Chains A and B, each alone.
Chain A
Amino acid sequence: MRLCYFLFMVCILLTLGVKAQNKQILYDFNEIPQSLSVNPGVETDFKWFAGVPLLSGISAYGGSNAISVNDIFASDGVDINLKFRERALDVLTPKDELSTTVQMEYLSGGFRSENPNVFYSFGGYLEFDNISYWPKDYAYLVFDGNAGQLGRSYDLGDLKTRGSLMNVLHFGVNKKVDRNLTIGARGKIYSGITDYSSTSNQGTLRNTEGQNNRISTNLNADLLLRTSGLQALDEANDSETLGNEIISRALFGGDLGLGFDLGFTYHLSERTTVTGSLLDVGFIYHSSDPKSYSLNGNTTVEGIEIDVLENFASLDRDFWQDLVDEIEAEVPFETDTKSYVSFRPTKLYASIRNDFGEPVGNGSSQSCDCTAGSSAGGELRTKYRNSFGGQLYMINRPRGPQMALTGFYTRRIGNVLAFKGTYTVDKFSQTNVGLGMNLQAGPVNLYVMADNLLSYNNIAATNYASFQFGLNIISWGRSK
């Protein structure tokens, strides 16, 4: 049952809610080839690597900073209406988010150039991401309505949501400039399957005492929802060709975009290293199946108003239809199919790391083909048994940038095992402890990572859950 609940919780969290997940455990964990995905300038030492298709990198994240599944669905005998009101409706604010990111790498590989200082990587992954902020005033309108709320202004800007499903193909170059500096860059082609965003809404809905009639209702709206691909997928679903449509749109039959990642690693001293990366600086041009919906204007109505003296000559007209027409003219609901551009949620990572303890790998007398730093060009860097440091993560979001700070400790056990423990503080949690394990069994590389481990005693009560795992074949090209 526990297993069922766990899986169900993950599913629920995934459905909660654009953001990409903070991969703080994977970052700078350079024993793992996929660390290139979060810093193309990471120090690599592989001759080549190949990710096992569909298993080389899977990560999922679901989170809400202010409410958990358990808050609402715990079987505690409390009326759900009371729980919803006390734990969601009256507590959540438009800054609280519900978000989800799922990435599945289906192709991943890399190889060293004839110039041993240059390493090329390539791959492809599918990504679904979504972020929705709590639409507070909309929620009040839906659950309570506007009755008895004279003077209260409902903020229509509370609606902010963004999401996309896309296929990403990438090719990167990683170059060791000298003994201290490694840089990297990666180009990306985005093939958008579907996209939706409604992030720039403004306006209010307000009832006040009327001038003529009892109540005056003012609607001031500037709302916009942009979508792409939804209609095509819906039509394909109706004609039972959804799979083909998704594949077609994933393989450049949908919306296209370009982007790049940059990164570096720099050794300040023998044991102190700084790194940084900027990911997903890019855009997608939505032109294949765009559809936008807008509601824009300002109107104040007090119902049907008839001044018999003023309207004496036209009392037979349809006052109701006139009122409807007047509202529709002042606040027109419009749809259009103009193409639009969306920007990717750009992420920034930075870290400082200090190594200590005994050296591992290079200096020892192992005979296996599994030593970090064994095939990179130039002078090899010594790896140490322990590392600790701090990381910074930032991402641009519809309501401004968001940040997470991570402290980490890495322990290497020979060339076979490495563990990385992290403690992360962000808006989701102040008790986020994560653990990652990398196992190198000959050429086979396996890694598993999960964070917010303290929440695993009651996964339903957590605000945040994420996991990553992957399987690779790695070669260092020669035995030492």
Chain B
Amino acid sequence: MKEVRILFTVLVGLLLVASCSEEQDFDQLDDLTVAPSYEASIFYVKAQETLINRVAGLNFFTQDFNFDAFEEPFFTKKVLAGVLTYELENTTSKPIEIRLEFLDEAENVLDTEVFSMDPAPTAILQRDVAYGATGKSLDIIRATSEIRLTAINLGDNSSESALQDPAIVLRSSAQFTLELQ
């Protein structure tokens, strides 16, 4: 029995010692960067010219929208950078100003984006707003709880565009890079 034990030990030992391995460095795992970028639409707002004409005064639309997406703890902890892309299309007969305000929970204004559009026919306005190292502070995004949208009619309340379904349309999307590791 003793001999068998010795033989067994020797055999297993031989197998282990005879095996080789190139040098491995498992600490490299710390250098692995996992920073994906995700993209999705944020909000779409459409105000028809017939509606604009019905509202007296410059300010034809003001509304605060709850927007908790940026407040999710996972997002606020991991976000590295981001770009908000706005696309504004004006097919009405009036010059329009759109004001977007980012508000925190106490409704303090953190940031404002203003868009001015000439009456139709006019090109679609596209604007990319960067956040992070090469742009505005990410804290704006992290603290945003509401978005206030104000639309101002800088024209009259009677003219009508000859285009089909005239309206002012705001489209937007967000692309954010998260640091997962």
Residues of A whose CB lies within 8 Å of any CB of B are 2-3, 5-9, 69-70, 72-75, 79-81, 84, 141-149, 207, 210, 212-217, 301-309, 312, 315-316, 318-321, 437, 439, 441, 444, 446, 448, 450, 456-461, 467, 469, 471
In the complex, A444 Cα to B47 Cα: how many Å? 89
Minimum CB–CB distance from B65 to chain A (whole Å) comes to: 6
Give a binary string over B1-39; 1 marks a CB under 8 Å from any A CB, 0 the rest.
101100110011001111111111110110111101111
Minimum CB–CB distance from A51 to chain B (whole Å) comes to: 14
The 10 closest A-B pairs by CB, nearest first: A145-B36, A303-B41, A147-B37, A75-B25, A147-B39, A213-B41, A213-B44, A5-B21, A304-B43, A80-B28
B148 at the interface (CB under 8 A from A): no
In the complex, A437 Cα to B45 Cα: how many Å? 76
In the complex, A187 Cα to B66 Cα: how many Å? 63
Determine the residue in chain A with the shortest Cβ distance to B169: A212
**Mostly helix, strand, loop or mixed at chain B's interface?**
mixed
In the complex, A7 Cα to B17 Cα: how many Å? 11
* Choice from A7, A439, A459 contacting B4 with Cβ under 8 Å: A439
In the complex, A210 Cα to B87 Cα: how many Å? 13
Q: Could you tell me if A6 and B46 are in contact, using CB atoms closer than 8 angstroms?
A: no
* Choice from B31, B45, B63, B66 contacting A79 with Cβ under 8 Å: B31
Provide 5 A-B residue pairs closer than 8 Å at the C-beta atoms, listed in order of the A residue.
A80-B31, A213-B41, A303-B40, A304-B67, A309-B50
Total A-B Cβ pairs within 8 A: 184
Q: Could you tell me if A144 and B43 are in contact, using CB atoms closer than 8 angstroms?
A: no
* Choice from A146, A302, A308 contacting B38 with Cβ under 8 Å: A146
Determine the residue in chain B with the shortest Cβ distance to A210: B41
Minimum CB–CB distance from B172 to chain A (whole Å) comes to: 7
B51 at the interface (CB under 8 A from A): yes
- Other than the known A9-B21, A146-B38, what 18 A-B pairs have Cβ atoms closer than 8 Å? A5-B21, A8-B24, A9-B24, A75-B22, A80-B32, A147-B36, A147-B39, A214-B41, A301-B40, A305-B43, A306-B44, A309-B47, A309-B50, A320-B68, A444-B4, A446-B7, A456-B18, A467-B15
In the complex, A207 Cα to B37 Cα: how many Å? 13
Q: Which residues of B contact A143 (CB under 8 A)?
A: 34, 36
* Choice from A75, A212, A444 contacting B23 with Cβ under 8 Å: A75
**With A70-B22, A315-B63, A321-B66 as contacts: A144 and B44 at CB distance below 8 Å:** no
In the complex, A50 Cα to B67 Cα: how many Å? 70
Q: Which residues of A contact B21 (CB under 8 A)?
A: 2, 5-6, 9, 70, 458-460
**With A215-B41, A306-B44 as contacts: A471 and B22 at CB distance below 8 Å:** no
Q: Could you tell me if B66 and A307 are in contact, using CB atoms closer than 8 angstroms?
A: no
Q: Which residues of B contact A318 (CB under 8 A)?
A: 66
Q: Could you tell me if B40 and A319 are in contact, using CB atoms closer than 8 angstroms?
A: no
Minimum CB–CB distance from A460 to chain B (whole Å) comes to: 4
Q: Which residues of B contact A457 (CB under 8 A)?
A: 19-20
Q: Which residues of B contact A210 (CB under 8 A)?
A: 41, 44, 171
